[in-house]
Amino acid sequence: MLGFIGLGNMGAPMAENLLKKEGRIVVFNRTAAKCEPFVEKGAVAAATVGEVAKQADLIFLSLPGPAQVEAVVRELVANGREGSCIVDTSTVSPKLNREMAELAAGKGITYVDVPVSGGPAGAANGKLSLMIGATEEEYTALGLKPYTDTIGDKYFFMGARGNGNAIKLINNYMAFAAQAINGEALAMADALGISTDAFYDVTTKSSGNNMILGAKMNKIRNEDYKPGFALDLVVKDLELARQLCQDMEIANFSLNTALQWYRIAQAKGAGCEDSSAVIRVIRETEGKH
């Protein structure tokens, strides 16, 4: 049987697509009530992580951070059996991925980092990008593609454990640093009396355009900060990216600058809002909005 642990904004739609494919899966979530809609559709709710390990040979994880991943993987390994496989879609540090892979291998269990990108909408539509800490040959031999085809349609094989999360953190750093720059640029436009509409009309059609500028444009225009990707998670990912730089002894000034803006937004109570709330905070800090 297939198992799924972590039924949050990303995990729930992925688990639902896998349930549609399999007809029956075993699920676990720290908040047990989140399992109920899946049980109604034919899933089995486990009372503990260990129960998932005992029932499932292939287990997907979608967890909020490193502490949760380590705790869950340790329990899976303690209760799991040789030949089973853990596919971890969580965004954590490459170092932790490698440690968990080594821990699992000690019991004959395969652990692969497969972080995803595309947001809840991409998860619901099965259109996620998958960044895989394995070679294509190994991934094919493990027989994972028929399952991950259900949740994603863009595959990037990064060769080694941890490299899936390494490229995910690099990508997220680029996106969220660009968003902070977008906020600073909007604050400049505010100070000059250039309207928000005029700002977007020019920048989305000129060399300053970037993917996140257009993606968050309507949220900024409509002041809609309902979370797609929560700002608290941005801080987590940027801190992980900064740790990666420290581990590799790489200087990165813009990452630290962006992180401080998101921390200020967090301190102002925007942690549970969409990541784009940082733009509102930047504009308010500069006195124009």
Rounded to whole angstroms, the Cα distance separating 10 from 196 reads 31
Q: Could you give the dihedral angle defined by the CA atoms of residues 173, 177, 179 and 184, in that order, rounded to the nearest 10 degrees?
A: 170
Rounded to whole angstroms, the Cα distance separating 255 from 262 reads 11
Catalytic residue among 34, 41, 168, 226: 168
Please answer whether residues 116 and 89 qualify as being in contact, where contact means their C-beta atoms are separated by less than 8 angstroms: yes
Rounded to whole angstroms, the Cα distance separating 267 from 141 reads 47
205 φ/ψ angles, rounded to the nearest 5 degrees: -120, 15
Closest by CA position to 112, among listed 79, 90, 82:
90
268 is catalytic: no
3-state SS assignment for residue 12: helix
Rounded to whole angstroms, the Cα distance separating 112 from 98 reads 9
Catalytic sites, residue numbers: 168
